[in-house]
Amino acid sequence: MRSNLDWFRHAFAYECGAIGLRTLCTMAVADTAFGSASAFSLFSSFTVFLLTLTHTKVFDFFLGRATGSLVKTGKVRLLHCVSYELAGAALSIPLTLWLLDFSLTQALWREALMFIVFLLYTYLYNYSYDRLFPVPDAQLIHPRL
């Protein structure tokens, strides 16, 4: 498994790139000023940062338990991305309705755009991160009970 410092680095770097993407997606679906969209993106990034810390760690724990390895095939990476984005949507839609005063239609369009953009971003980010910072002994993982 990764160290706590590595988990933090993973989540922090992910959110640094995500802030810009969230701002652009928010501005794309409604007449939202850059300042409001970017402030919202910073706030939601903090919320999603906590999700990132927990989701990936929990996903890897269960992957290790199920397969005995942390090696991620394309299908496993896709499952990781989809499960992450669905959890993010569950957090994001209420925040969008409340903080940006979007209509439900605007919030759903924003979330649909975010889902597509972030599915690609999350897949590419995690693939690149795993290449740059491989899990030590990913083949021989024996999670603690």
Q: In this structure, is residue 144 part of a structural domain? A: no
What is the count of structural domains for the chain?
Answer: 1
- The reported pLDDT for the residue numbered 128 is 93
SS3 label, residue 44:
helix
Q: In this structure, is residue 76 part of a structural domain? A: yes
Task: Give the span between the Cα atoms of 141 and 116, in whole angstroms.
Answer: 32
Q: In this structure, is residue 92 part of a structural domain? A: yes
DSSP 13-38: HHHHHHHHHHHHHHHHHS---HHHHH
Residue 141 has pLDDT above 50, yes or no: no
- The reported pLDDT for the residue numbered 44 is 84
Taking the whole predicted model, whether its pTM rises above 0.75 is answered as no
Q: Which residue has the higher pLDDT, 95 or 139?
A: 95
Strands (E), 1-145: none
Residue numbers of the domain that contains 89: 4-136
SS3 label, residue 71:
coil
CB 8 within 8 A of CB 105: no
Q: In this structure, is residue 38 part of a structural domain? A: yes
| Angle separating helix axes 104-132 and 74-99, nearest 10 degrees | 140
